[in-house]
Structure 1
Amino acid sequence: MSRYQEIASDIEKDIIEKKYTDRLPEQTELATKYQTSRVTIVHAMKLLQNKNLIKTIKGHGTFVISKSIPRVFLNSGVSENDGFTAHVQGGAKVQSNIIAFNTRKPSKEECKAFGIGPQDEVYDIIRQRILDNQPAKLEYTIMPIKLIPGITPEILHKSIYAYIKEVLGFEIGADDRVISADRADAYDIKYLDCKKDDPVLCVQQKAYLGDGRPFELSEARNRFDRGSLTFNHK
Protein backbone atom coordinates (compact mmCIF):
# COMPACT_ATOMS: atom_id res chain seq x y z
CA MET A 1 0.00 0.00 0.00
CA SER A 2 1.38 3.40 -0.98
CA ARG A 3 1.75 6.26 1.51
CA TYR A 4 -1.21 8.23 0.14
CA GLN A 5 -3.41 5.11 0.35
CA GLU A 6 -2.38 4.63 3.99
CA ILE A 7 -3.26 8.25 4.74
CA ALA A 8 -6.60 7.99 2.93
CA SER A 9 -7.42 4.84 4.90
CA ASP A 10 -6.55 6.56 8.20
CA ILE A 11 -8.66 9.64 7.39
CA GLU A 12 -11.54 7.40 6.28
CA LYS A 13 -11.39 5.62 9.64
CA ASP A 14 -11.51 8.98 11.44
CA ILE A 15 -14.53 10.05 9.36
CA ILE A 16 -16.42 6.83 10.04
CA GLU A 17 -15.62 7.05 13.76
CA LYS A 18 -16.88 10.68 13.74
CA LYS A 19 -13.51 12.24 14.62
CA TYR A 20 -14.10 14.45 11.60
CA THR A 21 -17.76 15.41 11.30
CA ASP A 22 -17.72 18.66 9.36
CA ARG A 23 -14.56 20.08 7.83
CA LEU A 24 -11.19 18.41 7.36
CA PRO A 25 -8.00 20.21 8.40
CA GLU A 26 -6.18 22.17 5.72
CA GLN A 27 -3.93 20.13 3.43
CA THR A 28 -0.84 21.76 4.92
CA GLU A 29 -1.96 20.68 8.41
CA LEU A 30 -2.54 17.13 7.21
CA ALA A 31 0.86 17.11 5.52
CA THR A 32 2.46 18.12 8.83
CA LYS A 33 0.42 15.56 10.79
CA TYR A 34 1.41 12.69 8.49
CA GLN A 35 4.93 14.03 7.88
CA THR A 36 4.55 13.95 4.12
CA SER A 37 4.22 16.29 1.16
CA ARG A 38 1.12 18.22 0.15
CA VAL A 39 1.14 16.33 -3.16
CA THR A 40 0.70 13.06 -1.24
CA ILE A 41 -2.23 14.59 0.69
CA VAL A 42 -3.84 15.68 -2.60
CA HIS A 43 -3.68 12.09 -3.86
CA ALA A 44 -5.22 10.86 -0.60
CA MET A 45 -8.03 13.43 -0.94
CA LYS A 46 -8.81 12.18 -4.46
CA LEU A 47 -9.26 8.64 -3.13
CA LEU A 48 -11.67 9.88 -0.46
CA GLN A 49 -13.60 11.92 -3.05
CA ASN A 50 -13.92 8.83 -5.24
CA LYS A 51 -15.49 7.03 -2.27
CA ASN A 52 -17.95 9.91 -1.85
CA LEU A 53 -16.70 10.63 1.67
CA ILE A 54 -15.60 14.23 1.16
CA LYS A 55 -16.21 17.20 -1.11
CA THR A 56 -13.99 20.20 -1.77
CA ILE A 57 -15.52 23.64 -2.18
CA LYS A 58 -13.11 26.03 -3.82
CA GLY A 59 -12.11 28.81 -1.45
CA HIS A 60 -13.85 27.20 1.53
CA GLY A 61 -12.10 23.90 2.21
CA THR A 62 -12.81 20.19 2.24
CA PHE A 63 -15.94 18.92 3.96
CA VAL A 64 -17.15 15.54 5.15
CA ILE A 65 -20.19 14.23 3.31
CA SER A 66 -22.19 13.23 6.36
CA LYS A 67 -23.91 9.87 6.53
CA SER A 68 -27.23 11.03 7.90
CA ILE A 69 -30.80 9.82 8.30
CA PRO A 70 -32.80 10.60 5.15
CA ARG A 71 -35.05 13.68 5.26
CA VAL A 72 -38.09 11.60 4.36
CA PHE A 73 -38.37 10.89 8.10
CA LEU A 74 -37.06 14.13 9.55
CA ASN A 75 -40.20 16.02 8.60
CA SER A 76 -42.81 13.28 8.92
CA GLY A 77 -44.76 12.54 11.97
CA VAL A 78 -43.75 8.67 13.18
CA SER A 79 -36.78 1.14 14.67
CA GLU A 80 -34.10 -0.53 15.70
CA ASN A 81 -34.83 -3.37 13.32
CA ASP A 82 -35.29 -6.25 15.70
CA GLY A 83 -36.99 -8.05 12.82
CA PHE A 84 -33.59 -9.08 11.44
CA THR A 85 -33.55 -12.86 11.25
CA ALA A 86 -31.63 -15.55 9.49
CA HIS A 87 -32.86 -18.81 8.06
CA VAL A 88 -29.94 -20.97 9.06
CA GLN A 89 -30.22 -24.62 9.98
CA GLY A 90 -29.75 -25.02 13.73
CA GLY A 91 -30.17 -21.28 14.39
CA ALA A 92 -27.99 -18.25 13.75
CA LYS A 93 -25.67 -16.39 16.08
CA VAL A 94 -26.19 -12.62 15.87
CA GLN A 95 -23.69 -10.21 17.44
CA SER A 96 -23.40 -6.42 17.57
CA ASN A 97 -20.20 -4.45 17.02
CA ILE A 98 -20.17 -0.74 17.93
CA ILE A 99 -18.57 1.32 15.16
CA ALA A 100 -19.34 4.71 16.72
CA PHE A 101 -21.22 5.88 19.83
CA ASN A 102 -21.37 9.65 20.37
CA THR A 103 -23.61 12.34 21.80
CA ARG A 104 -24.09 15.70 20.11
CA LYS A 105 -26.41 18.66 19.66
CA PRO A 106 -29.29 17.93 17.25
CA SER A 107 -29.70 19.41 13.80
CA LYS A 108 -32.70 21.66 13.10
CA GLU A 109 -34.42 18.77 11.33
CA GLU A 110 -33.81 16.45 14.28
CA CYS A 111 -35.19 19.05 16.69
CA LYS A 112 -38.36 19.17 14.62
CA ALA A 113 -38.60 15.40 14.25
CA PHE A 114 -38.21 14.70 17.99
CA GLY A 115 -39.83 17.89 19.33
CA ILE A 116 -36.67 18.84 21.25
CA GLY A 117 -34.68 22.04 21.65
CA PRO A 118 -31.31 22.93 20.10
CA GLN A 119 -29.57 22.58 23.48
CA ASP A 120 -30.88 19.06 24.02
CA GLU A 121 -28.61 16.23 22.91
CA VAL A 122 -29.01 13.10 20.83
CA TYR A 123 -27.22 9.78 20.61
CA ASP A 124 -25.49 9.21 17.27
CA ILE A 125 -24.86 5.47 16.91
CA ILE A 126 -23.41 3.21 14.22
CA ARG A 127 -23.56 -0.55 14.80
CA GLN A 128 -22.51 -3.51 12.73
CA ARG A 129 -24.53 -6.73 13.00
CA ILE A 130 -22.55 -9.95 12.67
CA LEU A 131 -24.45 -13.04 11.55
CA ASP A 132 -22.66 -16.35 12.09
CA ASN A 133 -19.33 -14.48 12.19
CA GLN A 134 -20.02 -12.63 8.93
CA PRO A 135 -21.02 -8.94 8.68
CA ALA A 136 -24.64 -8.71 7.54
CA LYS A 137 -26.11 -5.33 8.51
CA LEU A 138 -25.02 -1.77 9.30
CA GLU A 139 -27.32 0.36 11.47
CA TYR A 140 -27.34 4.16 11.89
CA THR A 141 -29.44 5.34 14.84
CA ILE A 142 -30.38 8.76 16.25
CA MET A 143 -32.28 9.03 19.58
CA PRO A 144 -33.04 11.95 21.95
CA ILE A 145 -31.18 11.51 25.24
CA LYS A 146 -33.78 13.15 27.47
CA LEU A 147 -36.43 10.67 26.28
CA ILE A 148 -34.18 7.57 26.21
CA PRO A 149 -31.56 8.18 28.93
CA GLY A 150 -28.85 5.83 30.10
CA ILE A 151 -27.79 4.03 26.93
CA THR A 152 -24.36 2.44 27.38
CA PRO A 153 -22.04 0.35 25.18
CA GLU A 154 -23.21 -2.74 27.06
CA ILE A 155 -26.80 -2.02 26.01
CA LEU A 156 -25.72 -1.42 22.42
CA HIS A 157 -24.12 -4.86 22.29
CA LYS A 158 -27.53 -6.32 23.11
CA SER A 159 -30.84 -4.59 22.25
CA ILE A 160 -31.84 -0.96 22.74
CA TYR A 161 -35.49 -1.97 22.37
CA ALA A 162 -35.24 -4.50 25.19
CA TYR A 163 -33.71 -1.77 27.39
CA ILE A 164 -36.51 0.67 26.49
CA LYS A 165 -39.21 -1.88 27.32
CA GLU A 166 -37.72 -3.72 30.28
CA VAL A 167 -35.71 -0.99 32.05
CA LEU A 168 -37.34 2.31 31.05
CA GLY A 169 -40.78 0.71 31.06
CA PHE A 170 -41.95 2.23 27.77
CA GLU A 171 -44.20 0.53 25.26
CA ILE A 172 -42.95 0.47 21.68
CA GLY A 173 -45.56 1.87 19.31
CA ALA A 174 -45.92 2.19 15.54
CA ASP A 175 -43.23 2.96 12.99
CA ASP A 176 -43.02 4.12 9.40
CA ARG A 177 -40.55 2.45 7.05
CA VAL A 178 -39.32 3.03 3.55
CA ILE A 179 -37.53 0.10 1.90
CA SER A 180 -35.35 0.66 -1.13
CA ALA A 181 -32.40 -0.78 -3.02
CA ASP A 182 -29.11 1.06 -3.07
CA ARG A 183 -25.53 0.51 -4.19
CA ALA A 184 -22.81 -0.07 -1.61
CA ASP A 185 -21.14 3.08 -0.28
CA ALA A 186 -17.76 3.40 1.45
CA TYR A 187 -19.18 2.36 4.82
CA ASP A 188 -20.80 -0.75 3.32
CA ILE A 189 -17.57 -1.69 1.57
CA LYS A 190 -15.61 -1.31 4.81
CA TYR A 191 -18.03 -2.85 7.31
CA LEU A 192 -20.18 -5.23 5.26
CA ASP A 193 -17.42 -6.58 3.01
CA CYS A 194 -19.35 -5.35 -0.02
CA LYS A 195 -17.89 -4.77 -3.44
CA LYS A 196 -18.30 -1.36 -5.03
CA ASP A 197 -21.42 -2.19 -7.07
CA ASP A 198 -23.05 -4.72 -4.73
CA PRO A 199 -26.75 -4.10 -4.04
CA VAL A 200 -27.77 -3.20 -0.50
CA LEU A 201 -31.27 -3.38 0.98
CA CYS A 202 -31.87 -0.06 2.75
CA VAL A 203 -34.55 0.23 5.46
CA GLN A 204 -35.20 3.82 6.61
CA GLN A 205 -37.51 4.25 9.55
CA LYS A 206 -38.96 6.49 12.22
CA ALA A 207 -40.33 4.92 15.39
CA TYR A 208 -42.74 6.02 18.15
CA LEU A 209 -43.31 5.02 21.73
CA GLY A 210 -46.75 3.69 22.64
CA ASP A 211 -47.86 7.19 23.67
CA GLY A 212 -46.99 8.60 20.26
CA ARG A 213 -43.69 10.31 21.07
CA PRO A 214 -41.04 9.81 18.35
CA PHE A 215 -37.88 8.31 19.80
CA GLU A 216 -35.80 7.00 16.90
CA LEU A 217 -34.61 7.87 13.42
CA SER A 218 -32.64 5.11 11.81
CA GLU A 219 -31.32 3.53 8.66
CA ALA A 220 -30.36 -0.12 8.32
CA ARG A 221 -28.26 -1.26 5.38
CA ASN A 222 -28.38 -5.01 4.75
CA ARG A 223 -26.20 -7.20 2.58
CA PHE A 224 -28.25 -8.80 -0.17
CA ASP A 225 -26.95 -12.32 0.47
CA ARG A 226 -26.96 -12.74 4.26
CA GLY A 227 -30.04 -13.21 6.39
CA SER A 228 -33.56 -12.00 5.73
CA LEU A 229 -35.97 -9.39 7.07
CA THR A 230 -39.28 -9.80 8.86
CA PHE A 231 -41.57 -6.91 9.76
CA ASN A 232 -44.27 -6.70 12.40
CA HIS A 233 -46.04 -3.38 11.84
CA LYS A 234 -48.19 -2.23 14.77
Structure 2
Amino acid sequence: MSGTEHVEQRLRRLLRDNRFRPGERVGSERALAEQLRVSRSVLRRALERLEAEHLVRRAMGQSGGVFADDGKIQRHLNTVQGVPDMVRRQGLSTETRVLRLELAQPFPDERRALEIDETAPVIRTVRVRYAGNATLSLDTSVLPARRFPGLLSENLDGSLYALLTEHYGLQIDRAEETVEATTADARQAEMLEIPQGSGLLEIYRVTYDADNWAAEYAHDFFRADRTRMHMQRVGTNWKRSRL
Protein backbone atom coordinates (compact mmCIF):
# COMPACT_ATOMS: atom_id res chain seq x y z
CA MET A 1 0.00 0.00 0.00
CA SER A 2 1.39 3.39 -1.00
CA GLY A 3 1.67 6.33 1.37
CA THR A 4 -1.25 8.05 -0.33
CA GLU A 5 -3.45 4.97 -0.03
CA HIS A 6 -2.54 4.62 3.64
CA VAL A 7 -3.52 8.25 4.35
CA GLU A 8 -6.71 7.78 2.33
CA GLN A 9 -7.72 4.85 4.54
CA ARG A 10 -6.97 6.83 7.69
CA LEU A 11 -9.10 9.71 6.44
CA ARG A 12 -11.96 7.32 5.72
CA ARG A 13 -11.77 6.03 9.30
CA LEU A 14 -11.61 9.58 10.61
CA LEU A 15 -14.80 10.51 8.76
CA ARG A 16 -16.58 7.32 9.80
CA ASP A 17 -15.56 7.24 13.46
CA ASN A 18 -16.34 10.91 14.09
CA ARG A 19 -19.66 10.73 12.22
CA PHE A 20 -19.22 14.09 10.51
CA ARG A 21 -22.43 15.42 9.02
CA PRO A 22 -22.40 16.56 5.36
CA GLY A 23 -21.21 20.16 5.30
CA GLU A 24 -19.47 19.91 8.68
CA ARG A 25 -15.87 21.15 8.78
CA VAL A 26 -13.34 18.37 9.36
CA GLY A 27 -10.37 20.73 9.70
CA SER A 28 -7.77 22.66 7.77
CA GLU A 29 -5.26 20.89 5.53
CA ARG A 30 -2.47 21.96 7.86
CA ALA A 31 -4.24 20.63 10.95
CA LEU A 32 -5.07 17.32 9.26
CA ALA A 33 -1.51 16.89 8.02
CA GLU A 34 -0.22 17.47 11.54
CA GLN A 35 -2.83 15.15 13.05
CA LEU A 36 -1.97 12.34 10.62
CA ARG A 37 1.76 13.19 10.67
CA VAL A 38 2.09 13.31 6.91
CA SER A 39 3.21 15.92 4.41
CA ARG A 40 0.59 18.21 2.92
CA SER A 41 1.40 16.96 -0.58
CA VAL A 42 0.55 13.37 0.41
CA LEU A 43 -2.56 14.57 2.24
CA ARG A 44 -3.74 16.49 -0.82
CA ARG A 45 -3.39 13.46 -3.08
CA ALA A 46 -5.47 11.43 -0.64
CA LEU A 47 -8.08 14.19 -0.41
CA GLU A 48 -8.33 14.34 -4.20
CA ARG A 49 -9.39 10.69 -4.21
CA LEU A 50 -12.02 11.27 -1.54
CA GLU A 51 -13.28 14.35 -3.38
CA ALA A 52 -13.81 12.25 -6.50
CA GLU A 53 -16.13 10.03 -4.43
CA HIS A 54 -17.94 13.06 -2.92
CA LEU A 55 -16.81 12.10 0.58
CA VAL A 56 -15.09 15.42 1.22
CA ARG A 57 -14.80 18.81 -0.43
CA ARG A 58 -12.19 21.50 -0.03
CA ALA A 59 -12.83 25.23 0.09
CA MET A 60 -10.30 28.04 -0.10
CA GLY A 61 -10.20 31.25 1.90
CA GLN A 62 -10.35 32.30 5.52
CA SER A 63 -13.41 30.17 6.24
CA GLY A 64 -12.23 27.29 4.05
CA GLY A 65 -10.81 23.90 4.89
CA VAL A 66 -11.85 20.29 4.43
CA PHE A 67 -15.55 19.49 4.82
CA ALA A 68 -17.52 16.27 4.94
CA ASP A 69 -19.51 15.97 1.75
CA ASP A 70 -22.12 13.93 -0.07
CA GLY A 71 -22.13 15.85 -3.34
CA LYS A 72 -24.96 18.21 -2.36
CA ILE A 73 -24.93 22.01 -2.34
CA GLN A 74 -26.09 23.49 0.95
CA ARG A 75 -28.55 26.34 0.48
CA HIS A 76 -28.91 28.58 3.53
CA LEU A 77 -32.48 29.77 3.96
CA ASN A 78 -31.41 32.49 6.39
CA THR A 79 -29.26 34.26 3.78
CA VAL A 80 -30.12 36.02 0.53
CA GLN A 81 -27.31 34.81 -1.70
CA GLY A 82 -26.88 34.26 -5.42
CA VAL A 83 -26.20 30.78 -6.74
CA PRO A 84 -22.65 31.52 -8.01
CA ASP A 85 -21.54 32.82 -4.61
CA MET A 86 -23.25 29.94 -2.84
CA VAL A 87 -21.53 27.34 -5.02
CA ARG A 88 -18.08 28.95 -4.92
CA ARG A 89 -18.15 29.21 -1.13
CA GLN A 90 -18.52 25.44 -1.07
CA GLY A 91 -15.43 24.93 -3.18
CA LEU A 92 -17.00 24.13 -6.56
CA SER A 93 -16.78 25.82 -9.92
CA THR A 94 -19.97 27.37 -11.27
CA GLU A 95 -21.38 28.18 -14.67
CA THR A 96 -24.59 29.78 -15.94
CA ARG A 97 -26.33 29.15 -19.25
CA VAL A 98 -28.85 31.83 -20.26
CA LEU A 99 -31.82 30.24 -22.02
CA ARG A 100 -33.99 33.33 -22.36
CA LEU A 101 -33.71 37.07 -21.78
CA GLU A 102 -36.67 39.19 -22.83
CA LEU A 103 -38.72 42.31 -22.28
CA ALA A 104 -42.33 41.25 -21.74
CA GLN A 105 -45.64 42.05 -20.13
CA PRO A 106 -46.01 40.53 -16.66
CA PHE A 107 -48.10 37.48 -15.94
CA PRO A 108 -50.71 37.95 -13.19
CA ASP A 109 -48.60 36.30 -10.47
CA GLU A 110 -45.55 38.38 -11.46
CA ARG A 111 -47.61 41.57 -11.37
CA ARG A 112 -48.94 40.81 -7.90
CA ALA A 113 -45.53 39.85 -6.51
CA LEU A 114 -43.79 42.95 -7.88
CA GLU A 115 -46.75 45.20 -7.08
CA ILE A 116 -46.85 46.73 -10.57
CA ASP A 117 -49.72 47.39 -12.96
CA GLU A 118 -50.46 45.25 -15.99
CA THR A 119 -48.96 47.76 -18.43
CA ALA A 120 -45.57 47.91 -16.69
CA PRO A 121 -43.00 45.86 -18.65
CA VAL A 122 -40.75 43.33 -16.95
CA ILE A 123 -37.42 41.77 -17.78
CA ARG A 124 -37.66 37.99 -17.63
CA THR A 125 -34.63 35.72 -17.70
CA VAL A 126 -34.44 31.93 -17.58
CA ARG A 127 -31.10 30.35 -16.72
CA VAL A 128 -29.62 26.94 -15.96
CA ARG A 129 -27.07 26.91 -13.14
CA TYR A 130 -24.21 24.45 -12.84
CA ALA A 131 -22.21 23.36 -9.79
CA GLY A 132 -19.09 21.51 -10.79
CA ASN A 133 -19.80 19.62 -13.99
CA ALA A 134 -23.51 18.99 -13.40
CA THR A 135 -26.69 21.04 -13.43
CA LEU A 136 -28.00 22.39 -10.14
CA SER A 137 -31.04 24.56 -10.85
CA LEU A 138 -33.38 26.06 -13.43
CA ASP A 139 -34.02 29.68 -12.45
CA THR A 140 -36.53 32.24 -13.68
CA SER A 141 -36.08 35.83 -12.49
CA VAL A 142 -38.54 38.63 -13.25
CA LEU A 143 -37.66 42.27 -12.61
CA PRO A 144 -39.48 45.56 -13.24
CA ALA A 145 -37.90 46.98 -16.40
CA ARG A 146 -38.27 50.63 -15.39
CA ARG A 147 -36.17 50.05 -12.29
CA PHE A 148 -33.29 48.45 -14.22
CA PRO A 149 -32.81 50.28 -17.55
CA GLY A 150 -30.23 48.70 -19.82
CA LEU A 151 -30.32 45.33 -18.07
CA LEU A 152 -31.15 43.55 -21.33
CA SER A 153 -27.71 44.43 -22.67
CA GLU A 154 -25.86 43.20 -19.57
CA ASN A 155 -24.09 39.87 -19.21
CA LEU A 156 -26.28 37.66 -17.01
CA ASP A 157 -24.10 34.57 -16.88
CA GLY A 158 -22.87 35.48 -13.38
CA SER A 159 -24.51 36.65 -10.17
CA LEU A 160 -27.64 38.70 -10.85
CA TYR A 161 -27.59 40.11 -7.32
CA ALA A 162 -23.98 41.27 -7.68
CA LEU A 163 -24.83 42.93 -11.00
CA LEU A 164 -27.87 44.73 -9.57
CA THR A 165 -25.85 45.90 -6.58
CA GLU A 166 -22.85 47.15 -8.57
CA HIS A 167 -24.65 48.71 -11.55
CA TYR A 168 -27.95 49.85 -10.06
CA GLY A 169 -27.15 50.39 -6.39
CA LEU A 170 -29.66 47.80 -5.21
CA GLN A 171 -29.40 47.08 -1.49
CA ILE A 172 -31.02 43.72 -0.83
CA ASP A 173 -32.67 43.70 2.57
CA ARG A 174 -34.67 40.48 2.71
CA ALA A 175 -36.49 37.83 0.73
CA GLU A 176 -39.67 35.85 1.27
CA GLU A 177 -39.53 32.27 0.00
CA THR A 178 -41.85 29.32 -0.33
CA VAL A 179 -40.33 25.87 -0.87
CA GLU A 180 -42.26 22.84 -2.12
CA ALA A 181 -41.32 19.35 -3.24
CA THR A 182 -42.21 18.44 -6.82
CA THR A 183 -41.01 16.34 -9.76
CA ALA A 184 -39.50 17.32 -13.09
CA ASP A 185 -41.77 17.55 -16.12
CA ALA A 186 -40.44 16.89 -19.62
CA ARG A 187 -39.17 20.44 -20.19
CA GLN A 188 -37.49 20.75 -16.80
CA ALA A 189 -35.91 17.33 -17.19
CA GLU A 190 -34.46 18.31 -20.57
CA MET A 191 -33.07 21.61 -19.29
CA LEU A 192 -31.56 20.03 -16.17
CA GLU A 193 -30.33 16.92 -17.99
CA ILE A 194 -32.12 14.55 -15.61
CA PRO A 195 -34.79 11.85 -16.04
CA GLN A 196 -38.39 13.02 -16.14
CA GLY A 197 -40.00 12.54 -12.73
CA SER A 198 -36.80 13.28 -10.80
CA GLY A 199 -37.23 15.09 -7.50
CA LEU A 200 -37.05 18.89 -7.48
CA LEU A 201 -37.34 21.64 -4.90
CA GLU A 202 -39.64 24.34 -6.27
CA ILE A 203 -38.93 27.78 -4.82
CA TYR A 204 -40.93 30.99 -5.16
CA ARG A 205 -39.09 34.09 -3.96
CA VAL A 206 -39.75 37.82 -3.72
CA THR A 207 -36.65 39.90 -2.96
CA TYR A 208 -37.01 43.30 -1.32
CA ASP A 209 -34.64 46.25 -1.07
CA ALA A 210 -33.93 48.43 1.96
CA ASP A 211 -37.02 50.55 1.19
CA ASN A 212 -39.26 47.46 1.22
CA TRP A 213 -39.65 47.65 -2.55
CA ALA A 214 -40.06 44.37 -4.46
CA ALA A 215 -37.04 44.14 -6.74
CA GLU A 216 -37.28 40.56 -8.02
CA TYR A 217 -39.79 37.76 -8.34
CA ALA A 218 -38.15 34.38 -8.86
CA HIS A 219 -39.40 30.88 -9.60
CA ASP A 220 -36.61 28.31 -9.29
CA PHE A 221 -36.28 24.55 -9.49
CA PHE A 222 -33.34 22.98 -7.64
CA ARG A 223 -32.38 19.36 -8.13
CA ALA A 224 -33.31 17.52 -4.94
CA ASP A 225 -30.45 15.06 -5.39
CA ARG A 226 -27.94 17.93 -5.36
CA THR A 227 -29.45 20.35 -2.83
CA ARG A 228 -29.73 20.49 0.94
CA MET A 229 -31.70 23.21 2.71
CA HIS A 230 -30.28 24.66 5.91
CA MET A 231 -31.78 27.20 8.28
CA GLN A 232 -31.24 28.52 11.77
CA ARG A 233 -34.20 28.59 14.13
CA VAL A 234 -34.19 30.57 17.35
CA GLY A 235 -36.33 30.70 20.45
CA THR A 236 -38.64 33.51 21.49
CA ASN A 237 -35.98 34.95 23.82
CA TRP A 238 -33.23 35.13 21.17
CA LYS A 239 -33.39 38.90 20.57
CA ARG A 240 -33.79 39.69 24.24
CA SER A 241 -30.73 37.65 25.19
CA ARG A 242 -28.58 39.65 22.77
CA LEU A 243 -29.66 43.14 23.75
Cα 1:80–1:102 shift into 2, 3 Å: farther
2:179 aligned counterpart, secondary structure:
strand
- CA distance, structure 2, for counterparts of residue 172 and residue 196 of structure 1: 35
1:188 aligned counterpart, secondary structure:
helix
Measured on the aligned residues, the alpha-carbon RMSD in Å equals: 2.6
One-letter code of the match for 1:203? I
One-letter code of the match for 2:197? D
**Residue 129 of structure 2 corresponds to residue 129 of structure 1:** yes
1:190 aligned counterpart, secondary structure:
helix
Cα 1:132–1:153 shift into 2, 3 Å: farther
- CA distance, structure 1, for counterparts of residue 207 and residue 94 of structure 2: 23
- CA distance, structure 1, for counterparts of residue 149 and residue 231 of structure 2: 26
1:117 offset after TM fit, Å?
A: 3.0
Cα 1:94–1:193 shift into 2, 3 Å: same
Match for residue 184 of structure 2? 184
Match for residue 105 of structure 2? 105
Match for residue 225 of structure 1? 225
Match for residue 239 of structure 2? none
- CA distance, structure 2, for counterparts of residue 87 and residue 159 of structure 1: 13
Which stretch of the first structure deviates more once superposed, 170-179 or 149-158?
A: 149-158
- CA distance, structure 1, for counterparts of residue 120 and residue 101 of structure 2: 17
Cα 1:221–1:112 shift into 2, 3 Å: closer
1:113 offset after TM fit, Å?
A: 2.9
Identity between Structure 1 and Structure 2 (%): 22
Contact 2:139 2:218 in 1 (8 A): yes
Contact 2:122 2:145 in 1 (8 A): yes
Match for residue 14 of structure 1? none
- CA distance, structure 1, for counterparts of residue 159 and residue 170 of structure 2: 14
Match for residue 56 of structure 2? none
Q: TM-score, normalised by structure 1?
A: 0.58
One-letter code of the match for 2:202? C
1:155 offset after TM fit, Å?
A: 3.0
Larger Rg: 2
Cα 1:230–1:158 shift into 2, 3 Å: farther
1:201 aligned counterpart, secondary structure:
strand
Instruction: Indicate the structure whose relative CO is greater, using CA pairs within 8 Å and at least 6 residues apart.
Output: 1
Residue of 80, 85, 92 corresponding to 2:87: 85
1:197 offset after TM fit, Å?
A: 2.0
Structure 2 unaligned runs (5+)? 1-79, 234-243
1:207 offset after TM fit, Å?
A: 1.0
| 1:11-44 Cα distance to aligned partner (Å, 9 max, x none) | xxxxxxxxxxxxxxxxxxxxxxxxxxxxxxxxxx
1:140 offset after TM fit, Å?
A: 1.1
Cα 1:232–1:192 shift into 2, 3 Å: farther
**Count of paired positions:** 153
Structure 1 unaligned runs (5+)? 1-78
Alignment of 1:43-82 (within 5 A): 81-82=82-83
Cα 1:115–1:202 shift into 2, 3 Å: closer
Cα 1:114–1:85 shift into 2, 3 Å: same
1:156 aligned counterpart, secondary structure:
coil
2:155 aligned counterpart, secondary structure:
helix
| 1:136-176 Cα distance to aligned partner (Å, 9 max, x none) | 11001111111122224653101111111112112101111
Q: TM-score, normalised by structure 2?
A: 0.56
| 1:96-144 Cα distance to aligned partner (Å, 9 max, x none) | 0001111111234433332323332101111000111211110011111
**Residue 142 of structure 2 corresponds to residue 142 of structure 1:** yes
- CA distance, structure 1, for counterparts of residue 168 and residue 89 of structure 2: 32
Contact 2:199 2:225 in 1 (8 A): no
Match for residue 197 of structure 2? 197
- CA distance, structure 1, for counterparts of residue 81 and residue 120 of structure 2: 22
